[in-house]
């Protein structure tokens, strides 16, 4: 049994929510207790809700239920490429999450797909690198309805924005927002922001929502 299959089997065993000792797991899988210790450390570091330690045992505290997926080679390479792209970004939170996800997927990846070469094609544009420091705040503003004061190149006055949507266009990130100062929707290139800060929160309004923006451009 290769290591990926063994890790998958360990997850399946632990899904019963019971305490399992390492030597029992080793006997069941046909490996040494030391191997089980290493495998359990890998699973715990990947973020799975597993608790335990050597000499005590291991238990999964929350259910892990992922629907089975059958991916073609092209689909799998597209998935790996997307994760690798985020993992190499300048956004530390997203890069950390992508790296953790890459480890989890690698643990259950069939041996023949382990090295697809997808990471070879990952690159970051200068525009994307300049945009990256602003992305965590803008994502949080969209999620939590935060007002943002943003400064753009060549302008001293701040824009008072209600961020609505982020989009990546292969080279640049754009932000769709309602601008309170201009009383209209605006689409800004994130790499052209020279500063941004949260300035309180706002109550969403239908006339100033992403849906209203989409309606405004499709009805022209």
pLDDT computed for residue 122 by the predictor: 45
- Residue 184: pLDDT band with limits 50, 70, 90: very high
Q: What is the CATH number of domain 129-218?
A: 2.30.30
**Sole residue written with tokens 């330690």:** 53
Domain with CATH 1.10.10.10 in the chain: 3-60
Question: If we measure between CA atoms, which residue out of 124, 125, 115, 123 comes closest to residue 77?
Answer: 115
Using CA atoms, how far apart are residues 105 and 7, in angstroms rounded to an integer? 11
Local structure of 148: helix, strand or coil: strand
Using CA atoms, how far apart are residues 208 and 19, in angstroms rounded to an integer? 52
pLDDT computed for residue 120 by the predictor: 41
Domain with CATH 2.30.30 in the chain: 129-218
- Mean pLDDT of the residues in the chain: 83
13-37: pLDDT as tens digits: 888 888 999 999 999 998 999 999 9
Lowest mean pLDDT across 54-63, 93-102, 128-137, 199-208: 93-102
CATH label, 3-60, candidates 3.40.140.10, 2.140.10.30, 2.40.400.10, 1.10.10.10: 1.10.10.10
pLDDT computed for residue 69 by the predictor: 60
pLDDT computed for residue 64 by the predictor: 64
Phi then psi dihedrals of residue 155, to 5 deg:
-130, 130
Decide which of 162 and 73 is more confident. Answer: 162
Decide which of 46 and 208 is more confident. Answer: 208
pTM: 0.52
Question: If we measure between CA atoms, which residue out of 95, 93, 113 comes closest to residue 105?
Answer: 113
């Amino acid at each position: 049994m290769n290591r990926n299959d063994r890790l998958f089997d360990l997850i399946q065993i632990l899904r019963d929510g019971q305490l399992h000792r390492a030597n029992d797991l080793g006997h069941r899988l046909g490996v040494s207790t030391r191997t089980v210790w290493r495998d359990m450390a890998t699973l715990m570091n990947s973020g799975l809700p597993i608790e335990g330690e050597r000499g005590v045992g291991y238990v999964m505290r929350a259910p892990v239920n992922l629907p089975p997926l059958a991916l073609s080679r092209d689909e799998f390479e597209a998935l790996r490429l997307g994760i690798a792209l985020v993992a190499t970004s300048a956004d530390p939170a997203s890069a950390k999450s992508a790296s953790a996800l890459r480890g989890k997927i690698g643990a259950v990846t069939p041996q023949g797909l382990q090295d697809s070469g997808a990471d070879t094609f990952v690159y970051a544009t200068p525009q994307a690198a300049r945009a990256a420091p602003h992305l965590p705040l803008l994502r949080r503003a969209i999620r939590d309805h935060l007002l943002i004061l943003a400064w753009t190149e060549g302008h001293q006055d701040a824009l008072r924005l209600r961020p609505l949507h982020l989009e990546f266009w292969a080279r640049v990130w754009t932000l769709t927002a309602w601008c309170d100062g201009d009383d209209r929707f605006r689409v800004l290139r994130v790499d052209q922001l020279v500063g941004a800060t949260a300035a309180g929160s706002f109550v969403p309004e239908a006339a100033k929502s992403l849906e209203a923006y989409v309606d405004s451009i499709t009805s022209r």
